[in-house]
Every structure is written in C-alpha cells, then in structure tokens.
C-alpha cells in the first residue's frame, strides 16, 4: 500500500484522490469482515457434522482456520501488497515453525523396531 502523505487540515488536491482510493480499500475490508463472520459460523457448524472420522473434522476446521487467517494476514495486515523483505522473514519463520512441529512429532512416532523385548 503506497504511503500517501496527509497533513492535518490540508486541502490539497490529492485529498479526494486519497479518499476515493481508500474507499475502494474500505470496501475490501468490509468484504473480508463478512467473510470472516461467515467463516466463523461454518467452522462451528462443520464441527457438528459427523464425518465419521475425527481426523476429517480436524482437517476441515484447520482448512477454514487457515483460510480465515490468510484473509486477515493478506488484507488486514496488508501482506498481499507487502515487500519482498517481509515475505523473506516470514518465509523463514514458516519453515522453522513447520520444522519444529513436524520433527518433534516425528520423533515421538518413530520408535525403535526390533528391539530385544518386542
């Protein structure tokens, strides 16, 4: 998002341009808001659907959560128009976060086979 310099009380000709530019953004924010509200309701609703397998409920809930989180990150936090530097920082963070989660879980599930007792 480009930084528009505004000064308190200024009546520059840039002002209406800024307002019009921003009302476009404001509409977008409202759409995201409605989407988030909707997402919340379907998350709750989906949790009551008996898929049979609990894992499917987990997958559905996480998928909706990721979608909602992406909306907040991309639009409210302006990530969709952010700079490469920020993407870089977040990319590394995501990699290490996944590493922590995945490797820790793997270590708990990877057990020694064919030991003396079993």
Partner 1 sequence: MQATTQALPHAAPHEAHHEEAGFWSQYIFSTDHKVIGLQYGITALGFLFFGFCLMLMMRWQIAHPGEPVPLVGPWLASSLGKMAVNGVVSPDLYNSFGAMHGTIMVFLAIVPLAFAAFGNYLVPLQIGAPDMAFPRVNMASYQFYVLGGVIMFFSFFIPGGAAQAGWTSYPPLALAIPTDGQTFWLIGMVFLITSSLLGAVNFIATVIQLRAPGMTWMRLPFFVWAQFVTAFLLLLAFPPLEAAGVMQLMDKVAHTSFFLPTGLAPVGQLANVSGGGSPLLWQHLFWFLAHPEVYVLILPAMGIVAEIIANNTRKPIWGYKSLVYAVLTIGFLSFIVWAHHMYLTGMGTRIATFFQTTTMIISIPSVIILTCMFISLWGGSIRFNTPMLFVMAFLPMFGIGGLTGLPLGFSSSDLHLHDTYYVIAHFHYIVAPGTIFALFAGIYYWFPKATGRMMSEFWGKVHFWTSLIFMNLIFQPMFAQGMAGMLRRMADGGANYSAAKVPGAIGGLSQGMLGLHTYILWAAVGLGLAQIPFIINFFWSISNGRPTNSDNPWQATTLEWQTPTPPPHGNFAQVPVVYRGPYEYSVPGHATDFTPQNQPG
Partner 2 sequence: MEIPYTVQPRPDTGLYNAKVGIWLFLASEVMLFGALFSSYILLRVGAPEGYWPHGWLNVPVGTCNTLVLITSSITTVMAWASLKMNQFNRFKFYHACTICLALAFVCIKSYEYHDKFTHYEIILNNGHILDGHLRESTPDHVVISGHAVEDPKELYDLHAVKNPPKHEEITVLRSDIKKMERYGPWHNTYLAIYFTLTGLHALHVIGGALVIGFLWGPGSKLWHTDPERFTNRIEISGLFWHFVDLVWIFLFPVLYLL
Q: Which residues contact 62 (CB under 8 A, 6 or more apart)?
A: none
N- to C-terminal Cα distance for the chain?
Answer: 61
24 binds, among partner 1, partner 2, none (CB under 5 to 8 A by kind): none
51 binds partner 2 (CB under 8 A): no
DSSP per residue, 25-78: HHHHHHHHHHHHHHHHHHHHHHHHS--SSHHHHHHHHHHHHHHHHHHIIIIIS-
Residues within the interface to partner 1 (CB under 8 A): 85, 92-93, 96, 99-100, 103-104, 106-108, 110-113
Find the binder of partner 2 among 13, 52, 53, 104 (CB under 8 A): 104
Q: Would you tell me which residues interact with partner 2 (CB under 8 A)?
A: 3-8, 10, 15, 18-19, 22, 25-26, 29-30, 32-33, 36-37, 40-41, 43-44, 47, 54, 57-58, 61-62, 64-65, 68-69, 72-73, 76-77, 83, 85-86, 89-90, 92-94, 96-97, 100-101, 104-105, 108
């Amino acid at each position: 998002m480009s930084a528009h310099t505004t000064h308190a009380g200024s009546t520059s000709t840039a002002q209406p341009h800024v307002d019009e530019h921003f009302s476009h953004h404001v509409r977008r924010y409202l759409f995201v808001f409605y989407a988030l509200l909707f997402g919340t309701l379907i998350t709750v609703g989906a949790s009551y659907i008996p898929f049979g397998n609990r894992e499917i409920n987990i997958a559905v809930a996480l998928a909706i959560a990721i979608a909602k989180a992406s909306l907040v990150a991309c639009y409210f936090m302006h990530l969709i128009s952010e700079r490469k530097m920020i993407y870089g920082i977040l990319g590394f963070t995501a990699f290490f976060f996944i590493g922590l989660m995945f490797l820790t879980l793997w270590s708990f599930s990877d057990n020694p086979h064919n030991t003396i007792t079993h």
